[in-house]
């Protein structure tokens, strides 16, 4: 199980989201044994948190982006939350 949790903590947002979608499909099918369902659920929680963190980070970065006079994007140092 530790290997799966390690896998869940790595990878891109898209990879994490894709794996989360796979888990949801498996759990919704109703054909997964209880122990496997619990393992998948735990993995899904880790992936869900990872996706939420990545989205929040991206949102904060976008809020900090601004354009200079030439239309180039620059990062503002303001503390936006």
pLDDT of 48-60, one tens digit each?
999 999 999 998 8
- Packed helices 13-29 and 34-64: angle between N→C axes, nearest 10 degrees: 150
pLDDT score of 70 more than 80: no
Q: Rounded CA gap, 49 and 44, in Å?
A: 9
What residue segments make up the domains of the chain, in order of their start? 2-75
Which residue matches tokens 């290997």?
3
Q: Is CATH 3.40.630 the right assignment for the domain spanning 2-75?
A: no
- Predicted TM-score (pTM) of this structure: 0.69
Among 21, 22, 11, residue whose Cα is nearest residue 50? 11
Q: What is the pLDDT of residues 17-33, one digit of tens each?
A: 999 999 999 999 999 99
- Tell me if 73 sits within 8 A of 35, measured CB to CB: no
Among 41, 19, 43, 20, residue whose Cα is nearest residue 32? 41
């Amino acid at each position: 199980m530790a290997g799966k949790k390690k896998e869940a903590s790595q990878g891109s947002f898209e990879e994490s989201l894709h794996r989360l979608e796979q888990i949801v499909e498996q759990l919704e099918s109703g054909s997964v044994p209880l122990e496997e369902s619990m393992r998948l659920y735990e993995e899904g929680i880790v992936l869900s948190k990872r996706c939420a963190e990545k989205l929040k980070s991206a949102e904060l970065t976008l809020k900090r982006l601004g354009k200079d006079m030439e239309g180039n994007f620059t990062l503002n140092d303001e503390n936006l939350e």
